[in-house]
Structure 1
Amino acid sequence: MDYPLPENEAERLAELHALEILGTAPSPELDGVCALARDMLDVPCAAIGLVDRESQWFKATSGVDWEGTSRTHSFSTWTILSSDILVVPDASRDPRFTNNIYVTGAPNIRFYIGAPLALRPGLNIGTLCLWSPEPRTPSLAEIERVGHLARIIVDQFRLHEATRRTKRDLDHRRVSQSLLEMQSRELWRRQSLLAQTERLARVGGWEFDVATERLNWSDGVYRIYGLTPGFAPDQERALSHFPPEARQQFVKKFNTALRHREAFEIELPFVDAQGNHRLVRKTCQVETDGDTVVRAFGILQDITEQKEAEQRMWHMANHDALTGLPNRGLMRERLEVALRRSRRSQRYVGVLLVDLDQFKDVNDSLGHDAGDALLVEAAQRLSGCIGDADMVARLGGDEFIVLLTRMDSPTDAAVAAQHILSALSLPFNYKRTALSCRGSIGIAVAPEHGTDATTLLKNADIALYRAKGGGRGIAVEYDTRMQQATEKRIQLYARVRLALRNGEFQPYYQPKVSLRTGTIVGYEALLRWRHPRRGLLGPQEFGQIFDDADLATIIGERLLEATTRDMANWIAQGCDFGHVAINVTSSEFARGELPERVLAALDRARLARERLTIEVTETVFLGRGTDVVRNSLQALNSAGVRIALDDFGTGYASLSHLKQFPVDRIKIDRSFVHDIEHDVDDAAIVRAVIHLGQSLGIETVAEGVETPAQAAYLRANGCDYAQGFLYSKALPASRIPALMRGWDPAEVIGDGLAIGVAN
């Protein structure tokens, strides 16, 4: 269905069909109204349309030779949505009608005005509509005339309705005897309908005469009892189908009602004649004569299915559809109840927030079916780790919560967390593939870490953040220092967003020097924050902002934009700087459009592709979406952009990365270079990395070179390039041309010292 419907569509259609006018012969009076409307507004076409379920039928027309239209392309479809007159000055410019077949083709409607027709307010059965192939804006007087004509048409419809009703009344009078018979049949029909309603609703009526103690049942009550109608019931028989406790409860209520002349309603367990256990609702009203109760009456209803349906609906609303665990709402209710009880019992309540590690990797690599299987398995394992009084809930995604309601000691939560970690660490196979079910846990205990649900959940989340940041697969208990760190991190994020708006971040550039020739072959762009109060800040002051994917991506985009702009400026000044390397985070790869963004930035700055190097750490390879990272790097490398592997050998290295990913350069981490003169292990690692690069045809770059002896060692062992304070600190873009002009390669090779301008 591609057209709008009024909210009261069913009532509107009932009103239209009740008028019994659809398909009737043309009306000269209404045709005359259409002709008058054409003349009054000077338009070629007018019609009175009645809007049925799927079509519009013209009851009267002037200047129109069609019988109607489909509802899809009818302008009246929109007119009947409101009680106001619809005016369309130019249908070709109105988004509702731009593609309408009567606008794009004959009769090429441009101007349209339509007045809704309603016998009763809100039930628009049709319209008086006028149209023209020429755009125009009607005057207020013309709009009022259309409204007057619409009221005339409605009066004609009401006359038709009254005439039809009068004719029907006359027919009824002529068949008065038949009417009496019809009334008798209607009485029988209503009685049958009442009996059918009793059967469908599983309800029946009863009455009790207080003076004679006579009890009467309708057929519906007999059906609920499972008995055959016909015999006169008595109180003893009626009460015998209720269990003893329920029977006593009803008798007490009934006697109180008779004594105090009060109505009541009660739900009771019930056993029918076939031995089926049911649940019934019994109501009671009393009838009095003065101060005396003469009769009690009411209904008996079998509500078993109703209660079962309500229970199913409650379960659906309060439980996770995939795992069957309680959801966030039910967990919150149970937590608040547990906290109230703990205040009375002086016991502890523990909240364990559990996040599955690498869950997204499973979804990305094996599909959502595998992810769902992992969630179900985790739910079962968590449920197997708790007691009957505790609860496991799924909060959403790969996050669960374990609620421990009766702890004798606050340390019980940590013990339970370790038990859960052990259970999650067990192997789990899905379709012959081993999946990791491991998780990280944040712990908060009431009352130590909060006395209300909101505080406790927030602190457990803070502890979980620390657990995931601490290497995952561990449990961390909340302490107040975490809150302080969280608040500090939030403040830093807010200040960084302000700094981005103010343009306070900018790249500084540190040269890379050829250890063979002493020349500068390129630069690494290093992010600096020019803080208005604290001065120039390095990444050690704000590096944690890269944990935020959105901020990391925005900063990466700004760094790329600024770096390509600086390179273009250097070229314009005749400065041959070689290349510039920029660091790219996991967050920038996640969106999958990194190659397009990088290449577009180079094209805007009119830079050759080899002018840029992308540096990545091995944590990018180990993160989520490995295929996206590989495809992005291959696309960039194929386009001419070089790829460098940063911080090589710091603990995450895998030789397979050099085979799987397009790597042009390996950067030896400064931690190995620093003690290269004194630590034989560091020296051995550096030699091994250099030889590995030589074997694979990959260039090597040493970071953090600070002494001539370090440079000499690296040169002697075949390292290609070096960067560090020995040559220059990172400089702003404006100083790079001067550095290049004053650079003396011979001096660098001769004694390992850079010239004065470099420092």
Structure 2
Amino acid sequence: MPDSEREAVRQRALADIGLLDTPPERPFDALAKLAQRMLGTSMSSITLVDRERQWFKARCGLLAPETPRAQAFCPVVFETEAPLMVADARLDPRFAASPHVTGSPGIRYYAGVPLRISRDDGDAVTIGALCVLDDKPRATSAAASAADLAILSELACAAEALLEARRVALRAAEAAEDLRRTVEHLERERRQFKQAERMADMGSWRYDLQERRPTWSDGIFAIHELPVSAGVPKAGLLDFLPPPDRARFLDAVRRALDTGEPFDLDIDFVTARGTRRRVRCMGELELSKGIPAALVGLMQDITERHRMEQRLLHHARTDDLTQLSNRAAFNQLLDDGLRDARARGREVAVLLIDLDGFKAVNDALGHAAGDAVLRRVADRLRAPYLAACTPARLGGDEFAVLVPAAVGRAALDPLVQRLLRDLHIIVDGPGRIASVTGTIGVAWSGDATGGREEILRHADAALYEAKRACKGTARTYIGALSRRLAG
């Protein structure tokens, strides 16, 4: 193979492991230190040779993080793919004028061996060197030199194992994005993939359409909390999916069989030990000579990620003080409620609530007392008789309630009257007593031809009229007028 082509192969192999310019890692550092100690030198390195530079994944002694490739020692090992020992660099015409010899770090002695990784075709490719260096020359015998290189070669085996592990880890990440290629190479890379499964909490599965037989990798058994020795359960994945998600999974499988469309689902899952988990399940058809032969896929345990997403979603949609829905969440719920009600030919109602006397509580008893009032109001809005409704805090002392179509206009009046009584709150403080009431504006979606903004505008108009007429009462928006509900 020409030198230029071999160089290109090496650089592709180096790029494939994604190790250049990564932070220090303890296993590589430990190997470099071990080489330094065993050979008694002042410097050592695990060197990767890039196109124009040599970069040190691990280094001991006075070595820079990287240096130009020209006139350096490790690139010679890289290019020749053979061990190199230099007893005194000042006497070696290849290196005597090198700035690494004439300047810092003043290299005199060098010993290095190639570092190789395996390619898919089984060939080994050199990507760098494991070396030791010293600022003093060594007058060593042939036997001693051979012994030093033998030690380095043994340590290089350990370094190559770390490089191979890195290559496997990158291949695991590609597996999630390129399922077809992973499955085609699954048997050849079985041991590597098992290691990747443990790292990524994932596993692979295959369902043979002809034999109607599922097979699982070890990672799938681990997600199910089943021993590998137990074998695949007769129903496969289905026994572990709750009914709604089981139906979703079966629908996705049927579509894949009918249309060849791959699927990617996040679904709930219950393990053999009863542990509830969230999993991502991917699948697609495997073709043999153009004919569907199997369904193949991956499953990944995403429980922790899902919980974090749910916590973030809850935080984004929840008022921190009252734990009610916030304005953004209420707007979304109202949009959904309006859309559903209109599709069914029904109507929903919105209650806008403003607290009367709340500012006096803050002024007389302090903000802690005001916060306590807001929490008490939230508790009243969570009362059992309002269980079908959705309360929210819009901000300050303003609350809202979405009333579903099932309640109906006839039942809303007594509900609002009871709520007005519940919103009458007495607050005790040191030598002071304050009273808080609620005023309510009501609007029905049937009286609003527009969307959310219109029904909220109607409810706000009714609220304003109620407050102007008598605080602690309620009004319903009807056309351009409103009707008093309660005092």
- TM-score band, normalised by shorter chain: 0.5 to 0.7
Q: Does 1:179 align with 2:179?
A: no
CA shift in 2, pair 1:270/1:471, >3 Å: closer
CA shift in 2, pair 1:385/1:238, >3 Å: closer
* 1:375 Cα offset (Å): 0.3
Q: Deviations over 1:318-342 (max 9, x none)?
A: 2211111112222223323333444
Equivalent position of 1:34 in the other structure = none
CA shift in 2, pair 1:166/1:289, >3 Å: farther
The aligned amino acid for 1:179 is L
Among residues 68, 90, 102, which one is paired with 1:162 in the alignment? 68
Task: Give the distance between the partners of 2:211 and 2:274, measured in 1 at CA.
Answer: 31
Task: Give the distance between the partners of 1:409 and 1:254, measured in 2 at CA.
Answer: 42
Q: Does 1:332 align with 2:309?
A: no
CA shift in 2, pair 1:190/1:226, >3 Å: farther
Would you say the 8 A contact 2:206–2:215 is kept in 1? yes
Query: What secondary structure, in the 3-state scheme, does the structure 2 residue paired with 1:472 have?
Result: coil
Would you say the 8 A contact 1:327–1:394 is kept in 2? yes
Query: What secondary structure, in the 3-state scheme, does the structure 2 residue paired with 1:298 have?
Result: strand
Equivalent position of 2:374 in the other structure = 375
Would you say the 8 A contact 1:241–1:272 is kept in 2? no
The aligned amino acid for 1:444 is A
CA shift in 2, pair 1:211/1:324, >3 Å: same
* 1:398 Cα offset (Å): 0.3
Superposed counterparts of 1:89-100, under 5 Å: none
CA shift in 2, pair 1:254/1:415, >3 Å: closer
CA shift in 2, pair 1:243/1:441, >3 Å: closer
Equivalent position of 2:403 in the other structure = 404
Query: What secondary structure, in the 3-state scheme, does the structure 2 residue paired with 1:275 have?
Result: coil
Equivalent position of 2:297 in the other structure = 298
Would you say the 8 A contact 2:443–2:456 is kept in 1? yes
CA shift in 2, pair 1:237/1:165, >3 Å: farther
Query: What secondary structure, in the 3-state scheme, does the structure 2 residue paired with 1:389 have?
Result: coil
Unaligned runs of at least 5 residues, structure 2: 1-19, 25-65, 84-111, 117-156, 173-193, 483-487
Would you say the 8 A contact 1:414–1:477 is kept in 2? no
Query: What secondary structure, in the 3-state scheme, does the structure 2 residue paired with 1:325 have?
Result: coil
User: Greater CA radius of gyration, 1 or 2?
Assistant: 1
Would you say the 8 A contact 1:449–1:478 is kept in 2? no
CA shift in 2, pair 1:167/1:258, >3 Å: farther
Equivalent position of 2:361 in the other structure = 362
Q: Deviations over 1:667-707 (max 9, x none)?
A: xxxxxxxxxxxxxxxxxxxxxxxxxxxxxxxxxxxxxxxxx
Task: Give the distance between the partners of 1:250 and 1:479, measured in 2 at CA.
Answer: 48
CA shift in 2, pair 1:432/1:401, >3 Å: farther
Query: What secondary structure, in the 3-state scheme, does the structure 1 residue paired with 2:240 have?
Result: coil
Higher RCO by CA contacts (8 Å cutoff, separation 6 or greater): 2
Query: What secondary structure, in the 3-state scheme, does the structure 1 residue paired with 2:376 have?
Result: helix
Equivalent position of 1:242 in the other structure = 240
Would you say the 8 A contact 1:214–1:234 is kept in 2? no
Higher strand fraction (1 or 2)? 2
Would you say the 8 A contact 2:447–2:479 is kept in 1? no
Would you say the 8 A contact 1:354–1:400 is kept in 2? yes
RMSD: 4.0
The aligned amino acid for 1:170 is V
Task: Give the distance between the partners of 1:326 and 1:260, measured in 2 at CA.
Answer: 41
Superposed counterparts of 1:311-350, under 5 Å: 311-343=310-342, 347-350=346-349
Instruction: Give the share of equivalent positions with the same residue, in percent.
Output: 34
The aligned amino acid for 2:240 is F
Task: Give the distance between the partners of 1:165 and 1:461, measured in 2 at CA.
Answer: 80
Q: Does 1:420 align with 2:429?
A: no
Would you say the 8 A contact 2:365–2:429 is kept in 1? no
Normalising by structure 1, what TM-score? 0.38
Task: Give the distance between the partners of 1:165 and 1:225, measured in 2 at CA.
Answer: 57
Equivalent position of 1:391 in the other structure = 390
Would you say the 8 A contact 1:378–1:437 is kept in 2? no
Q: Deviations over 1:340-387 (max 9, x none)?
A: 444455544332211111212222332221111010101112332753
* 1:224 Cα offset (Å): 0.7
CA shift in 2, pair 1:227/1:430, >3 Å: farther
CA shift in 2, pair 1:366/1:183, >3 Å: same
The aligned amino acid for 2:115 is L
Task: Give the distance between the partners of 1:481 and 1:244, measured in 2 at CA.
Answer: 50
Task: Give the distance between the partners of 1:257 and 1:179, measured in 2 at CA.
Answer: 45
Normalising by structure 2, what TM-score? 0.56
Task: Give the distance between the partners of 2:160 and 2:82, measured in 1 at CA.
Answer: 15
* 1:192 Cα offset (Å): 7.2
Would you say the 8 A contact 2:242–2:269 is kept in 1? no
Aligned positions, number = 329
CA shift in 2, pair 1:17/1:217, >3 Å: closer
Would you say the 8 A contact 2:269–2:278 is kept in 1? yes
Superposed counterparts of 1:506-525, under 5 Å: none
Q: Deviations over 1:533-568 (max 9, x none)?
A: xxxxxxxxxxxxxxxxxxxxxxxxxxxxxxxxxxxx
Query: What secondary structure, in the 3-state scheme, does the structure 1 residue paired with 2:463 have?
Result: helix
* 1:200 Cα offset (Å): 5.1
* 1:177 Cα offset (Å): 5.4
The aligned amino acid for 1:474 is T
The aligned amino acid for 1:169 is P
Task: Give the distance between the partners of 1:165 and 1:200, measured in 2 at CA.
Answer: 40
